[in-house]
Amino acid sequence: MSRRVGRSRLELPGYAPVYSGKVRELYAPIDPSTGQASRDTLLLVATDRISAYDFILDSEIPDKGKVLTQLSLWWFEQLVDIIPNHVISTQVPDAVAGRAVLVQRLDMVPVECIGRAYLTGSGLAEYRQTSSVCGLPLPAGLQDGSLLPSPIFTPTTKAPIGQHDQPMTYAEVTAKVGIAIAASVRDLTIAILERGNEIAADRGILLADTKVEFGLDTSRPDARGNPTIMLADEVLTPDSSRFWPAATWQPGRAQDSYDKQFVRDWLTSASGWDRSSGEAPPALPDDIIEATRSKYVEAYESLTGQTFA
């Protein structure tokens, strides 16, 4: 069960709204001379909205959009020898300063590319029912939080908002996008996950899993005529990935969430909200909002080694 909140979109003069996601929004710059929305660029805006237990909460986390945008930009740089990315510029309207990027419009690969280094969440649920995930057999005896023998590619369908993505087999990915692109996005997803874990390990952080989105630049075919595959969306943020503190990692139980633990703990205990009631969760108290903001800033600062301005 998830619920869309009827929050009004930003008014951004010179930009036309294209799409509004749960926590992010897309706009197309309008060419002032023609009045036409751009066909080659998009403005990707991260809001301060936060989700928990499949709900978008009524409370926002100050600076969350900025922290995630800056973290994603930092990761794009760490990955640029693996894959080029869609970022064109960080020159954006003042209203979204620091939390928006101008990006190259790509033909998006219609698969949610998920890489897993540790087993949890929907991957764990599938493993418990079938001993495999997305058609990949796994050894017996794995627990919630277990390190996998090697990282796995567990793609899903892109479901509309409010519906859950469905696991796909690799064969289904090849049927959808072709053998060449399927192999590329699989190998790139694993390479991004591994690079992410190498960097996070130095900071005492585990990267359990991550979701990445790829797009095709058809204007840049390679020698064989294949389009250039580019990394799109946001990358290796707490909204697209599970980061766990290495110090308390212990397979066999749910791990502490690096960013949302205060929110989850408060919602399921002190708030009096019943998760299974189907009702919207209550607004967060100020101290929970502030503690959560601090966790996002801490994630940014520990991973990048930079102070969040």
Binding residues (CB under 6 A) for ligand PZK: these are 19-21, 24-26, 42, 44, 86, 103-106, 108, 215, 232-233
CB of 46 to ligand PZK, least distance (A): 8
Q: Which letter does DSSP use for residue 247 in this model?
A: G
Question: How many other C-beta atoms lie within 10 A of the C-beta of residue 94?
Answer: 6
Q: Which is nearer to ligand PZK, 233 or 259 (CB)?
A: 233
CB of 137 to ligand PZK, least distance (A): 32
Pick the closest to residue 212 from 45, 308, 23, 83 (CA basis): 83
Element (H, E) at 143: none
5 three-class SS = coil
- Report which residue type is found at 5: V
Q: Which is nearer to ligand PZK, 84 or 245 (CB)?
A: 84
178 three-class SS = coil
Q: Which is nearer to ligand PZK, 43 or 299 (CB)?
A: 43
Q: Which is nearer to ligand PZK, 207 or 212 (CB)?
A: 212
CB of 213 to ligand PZK, least distance (A): 6
Largest CA distance in the chain: 63
Output the six-digit token pair for 23: 């926590």
CB of 91 to ligand PZK, least distance (A): 17
Query: Phi and psi of 64, rounded to 5°?
Result: -60, -45
Q: Which is nearer to ligand PZK, 209 or 239 (CB)?
A: 239
Task: Please list the residues that pair with 209 across neighbouring strands.
Answer: 116, 242
CB of 298 to ligand PZK, least distance (A): 24
The strand pair at 147-153 and 205-217 is best described as unpaired
